[in-house]
């Protein structure tokens, strides 16, 4: 049975190279917590991408990048009160280089952005839930080809 949004605890989101997404979560029901995961080849809705992109500035600050134009967020991992943000940066040779933050303690104020992380995490959690259980996916129209 699908969890309610209140039973759903996001653990990990990772964009896949094939444009799909991996989502891991925990479900708490009747005092028991179970772990779940799903990889889907379906493109997430643009709101999902926007929610994930909200972690770009924290990633930029923690890894010390001054020019974020070639930076993209590829995932997040939650463990307790800590958050790890994964991403990639495109080098001058147009080769993607994987990067990630250390585990950021959400309750600390070391960087100054931590208070906004809770809101961003709630938004991403809602989008991940909608993707998994409400079939909120990208609505891409297939190309139409004419045959002559």
pTM, to two decimals: 0.88
Element (H, E) at 41: none
Element (H, E) at 34: strand 32-40
State the 10-residue block means of pLDDT for the chain, 148 residues long.
92 89 94 94 90 96 90 95 94 91 91 91 96 84 40
Q: Are 69 and 91 in contact (CB under 8 A)?
A: no
């Amino acid at each position: 049975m699908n969890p309610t949004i209140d039973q759903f605890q996001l653990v990990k989101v990772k964009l896949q190279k094939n444009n799909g997404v991996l989502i891991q979560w925990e479900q708490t029901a009747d005092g028991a917590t179970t772990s779940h995961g799903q990889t889907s080849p379906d493109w997430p809705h643009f709101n999902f991408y926007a929610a994930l992109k909200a972690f770009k500035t924290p990633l930029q600050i923690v890894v010390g990048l001054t020019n974020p134009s070639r930076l993209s967020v590829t995932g997040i991992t939650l463990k307790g009160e800590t958050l790890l943000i994964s991403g990639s940066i495109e080098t001058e040779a147009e080769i993607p280089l994987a990067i990630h933050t250390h585990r950021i303690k959400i309750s600390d104020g070391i960087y100054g952005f931590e208070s906004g992380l809770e809101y961003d995490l709630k938004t991403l959690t809602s989008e991940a839930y909608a993707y998994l259980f409400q079939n909120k996916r990208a609505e891409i129209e297939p190309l139409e080809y004419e045959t002559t």
